[in-house]
A and B are shown apart, each in its own frame.
Chain A
């Protein structure tokens, strides 16, 4: 492990803004990532997640606001900041003609790591990410899961204190995702701070201590996943198919009117106790089959409520 920072805040972004042309991509965004946590950045496509990450490792310069990483102003000394962090880009950047082992060596040289340390770390990471069976095969022949693992391995070559992961598990099968989650937890246990983006709310809920939900470049809310759920919505969710015209009849008699969220024909109703509503609907339907499930409210509901379809009622 590298030397720990004096301050226990790894990233401190203070009202950073970035526009491309007339469109703001990031708008007065502030963010604090304390040491040792896994911090999730959630938001719809185009919300500004990647742009925020790029400002943090210093390749996008904010129009206004400041970013400090390890207490250092990234605009002033990007080299020393980047020598201590690792980034897995949203899109894999691998040298397809070369093997994983060679890719790791080429990447390690960007950090000025020399032999024999270079080979030592490459082998270590091949073991850590279970790439051993494919270590000498050209990357072009590897499956998406192996390529993603290699991309993550590259970002670990300099043994970073702080790891930035832009959608680490997008497009991967469940087994590979589980494997990667457990690797991220291992790193966290060793003291690595992580900042990741994801479109998978289950991933954020399982992996992240804190999440920020951003939309149109602004932070809509921030907190521990369980706190966000508890603060924003009722405990249970009834999810059913119904048209807007049927809705009043189905919810008739519930007082006060519960919070609900509609995405097309799908209606989500949030309440502390779902049983009464379910019984009411069953009675109205008289044995007709309707797609309906009751489940605990999760981060996805909060995400949709904050970024997607407008939430009606309650609050």
Chain B
């Protein structure tokens, strides 16, 4: 499904603040793969997802999705094939726009936007039903501004938007990190449900090792812009945090240093 081949990315090359963020990543995902991505701060997890999404171009290498070459495609065009949820609930939604307008925007992703109505009555009924499945009561406040919603509600709405058009790939970048534990759990459960219902291919960055083990059928660990661990199938099923830490020590020759990743 997703084929990342020999991708490199350096920020501010040739300056004092030069930063090699991705140093040769190869990653192939099969249709329906649900990959969790872990790694310390600055390992390059977000950069990898942003390269796939087209936030900035790769310096080298190619990225294809279901046979479509994304390498030189601008971000808004790639959006037709992708669903994205961000770490900050503010990023995925627009505070001054109404709830149903968000779903209308998402339903037009990948289509030509013209002079037809931005939202019509028939759609609203569909959105009512979709919002109802979230079980957050949002269906009764469809014309409220999203700025009035909590972080968890905004993430749930973003998830709904991201999965609405059955994306070829769902990109989740620590999308529960800004939420309190209870809300984070709810959003994770919803994520799992949406992925299973539509059999989506997904990449989920998380700083929580246990979540990385519990969810998905494959796990990759990143360090210094490369993938240092790639575990799938039966091996992934029997993984524990201890085994993971041990493997990390073996491959990288050091102990996992991010307290954040250990404690949460």
Q: Do A and B bind each other?
A: no
Q: Which A residues are closer than 8 A to B by beta carbons? A: none
